Amino acid sequence: MTLNEKYECYVKEIEEAHIWQGILYPGFLFKPEVLNDIQSFKVRKDDIFIATFPKSGTTWTAEIVSLIKSEVNIPFVKSLDISERVIHLETPPNRSLKLLEDLGSPRIFGTHLPFHLLPDSIKKGDCKVIYVMRNPKDVAVSFYHHHRMAKDLGNFSGSFKDFLALFSAGKTVCGSWFDHVIGYWEQTEKNILFLKYEDMKKNFRENIEKIADFLGADLSDEQIFKVLNHCSFESMQKNEKANRDWIPIFDKSKGNFMRKGIVGDWKNYFDQQDNQAFMSLYHAKMGQYTNLKFEFEIPLQPRLLPNQPNKKTNFSAKNSTPLSITNSSPQENEYSSSSTDNAFNSINYESSIKFINNNVFAYHERSLLSTSPTSPLFIVR
């Protein structure tokens, strides 16, 4: 089957598929009349837009931003679904942009629109934009699984190879990953904070602080710890107000909206030929952007293990057990960066470790946490 034939089959399965400004969208969610009105949408100075290509950390970042702007009020964010706290610009309530005018400030929006199709006032720099990028091979895998479970996208039944061919050619919904990322990256003079999914996985705390600084929020160490814990992958996967699993268009028999949340899952889907072809395309498209590099896998981080001598950090606490930093292979390490159950990758203590209930350790005060956001941030002895 040729690429065009694959594309024709793909489009036929998408509910109310339509082309807007040269990009394919599912009309069931992305109504043409709403998209046509977006250019004239008026933003406020204190508006915050979280912009991403699909499956690049949209929901994760939205939960972080929403929590920070609530002054880390966890009961509040747990009382409202994320779709009420962070409105997707292309799918406003009742499909009416006018209703957004009545929202109190600050308003937080999400969008998958490429930069050139954003409202004119955003392009002028009238508000803050957080753009989150993820390496395209993991995006392709995640988007493939999203297509399989999303009824409005036809519950894609083709192979991963078929999907990858469409993704590589920019023929999936929302268009080309390359054009999307480059379109934002070239806006260096705008009020945009650029984040990388892989950086957030490697050093979650540092990126939370980066987001907070960009938003003008001065978080205490206690507040940062709450954000780290609440926005871990495992916490969000279990949080019905954040995981989007309740949305009727998702076929839960095909998987969860929040699937794995790891870096390097592409290795389970790309064969050697796929990888060579895609990387050739990647270098052709991205080669000139020498200051924009992506990591396609994260090297194994030291892990924290109980009951072993610690060569890097020694401390004592009544009735406590020393903790150790060691290295291990993926086969040996159930908490490695390649595991969906990753609890910790590494911890570097700058000041102290707090002993809780004689059994549980947590980082305290100025500790630097480098971990993928996949579980509550505690170590149980």
Q: Mean pLDDT highest for which of 152-161, 258-267, 269-278?
A: 269-278
Write down the pLDDT at residue 357.
31
**Residue 293 belongs to some domain of the structure:** no
Looking at the predicted structure, is the pLDDT value of residue 55 above 60?
Answer: yes
Looking at the predicted structure, is the pLDDT value of residue 376 above 50?
Answer: no
Same structural domain for residues 271 and 363?
Answer: no
Write down the pLDDT at residue 192.
95
Looking at the predicted structure, is the pLDDT value of residue 150 above 50?
Answer: yes
Range(s) of the domain holding residue 374: 299-381
Q: What's the chain's length in residues?
A: 381
Residue 335: pLDDT band (50, 70, 90) is very low
Secondary structure class of 71 (helix, strand, coil)? coil
Write down the pLDDT at residue 301.
46
Residue whose C-alpha is closest to residue 54's, from 26, 12, 94, 84? 26
Same structural domain for residues 78 and 110?
Answer: yes
Residue 252: pLDDT band (50, 70, 90) is low
Q: Number of structural domains, the chain? A: 2
Residue 338: pLDDT band (50, 70, 90) is very low
Write down the pLDDT at residue 244.
58
Q: What sign does the dihedral 115-120-122-124 (CA atoms) show? A: positive
Give 169-197 pLDDT, tens digit per residue: 999 999 999 999 999 999 977 789 999 99
Angle at 191 between CA 189 and CA 192, to 5 degrees: 95
Distance from chain centroid for Cα 279: 22
Same structural domain for residues 276 and 312?
Answer: no
C-beta neighbour count of 195 within 10 angstroms: 22
Same structural domain for residues 201 and 330?
Answer: no
Distance from chain centroid for Cα 6: 28
Give percent above pLDDT 90 in the chain.
Answer: 54
Least confident of 66-75, 247-256, 265-274: 247-256
Same structural domain for residues 258 and 332?
Answer: no
Write down the pLDDT at residue 249.
63
Same structural domain for residues 78 and 211?
Answer: yes
Same structural domain for residues 213 and 313?
Answer: no
What's the mean pLDDT in 251-280? 82
Write down the pLDDT at residue 113.
97
Write down the pLDDT at residue 184.
97
Domain boundary among 286, 316, 351: 286
Write down the pLDDT at residue 248.
57
**Residue 291 belongs to some domain of the structure:** no
Query: Is 364 labeled as catalytic in the residue annotation?
Result: no
Write down the pLDDT at residue 283.
97
Catalytic residue among 112, 146, 180, 230: 112
Write down the pLDDT at residue 259.
61
**Residue 125 belongs to some domain of the structure:** yes
Q: What is the pTM of this model?
A: 0.77
Same structural domain for residues 254 and 370?
Answer: no
Give 286-312 pLDDT, tens digit per residue: 999 999 999 999 876 443 333 333 333
User: CA-to-CA distance for 69 and 67, rounded, in angstroms?
Assistant: 6
Output 307 or 137, whichever has higher pLDDT.
137
Write down the mean pLDDT value for the chain: 78
Residue whose C-alpha is closest to residue 69's, from 204, 208, 221, 217? 217
Output 367 or 237, whichever has higher pLDDT.
237
Same structural domain for residues 314 and 263?
Answer: no
Write down the pLDDT at residue 300.
61
**Residue 292 belongs to some domain of the structure:** no
Output 252 or 166, whichever has higher pLDDT.
166
Q: Mean pLDDT highest for which of 12-21, 150-159, 296-305?
A: 12-21
Instruction: Give the neighbor-by-neighbor strand order of the sheet with 352-356.
Output: 352-356, 360-364, 379-380
Contacts of residue 89, defined as CB under 8 A and 6 or more positions apart, other chains included, come to: 38, 41, 49, 109, 110, 111, 113
Secondary structure class of 170 (helix, strand, coil)? coil
Domain boundary among 286, 312, 345: 286
Angle at 347 between CA 345 and CA 352, to 5 degrees: 160
Residue whose C-alpha is closest to residue 160's, from 147, 170, 169? 147
Residue whose C-alpha is closest to residue 69's, from 80, 85, 90? 85
Q: Mean pLDDT highest for which of 80-94, 171-185, 245-259?
A: 171-185
Domain boundary among 286, 321, 350: 286
CATH number, domain of 141, equals 3.40.50.300
Residue 157: pLDDT band (50, 70, 90) is confident
What's the mean pLDDT in 109-115? 96
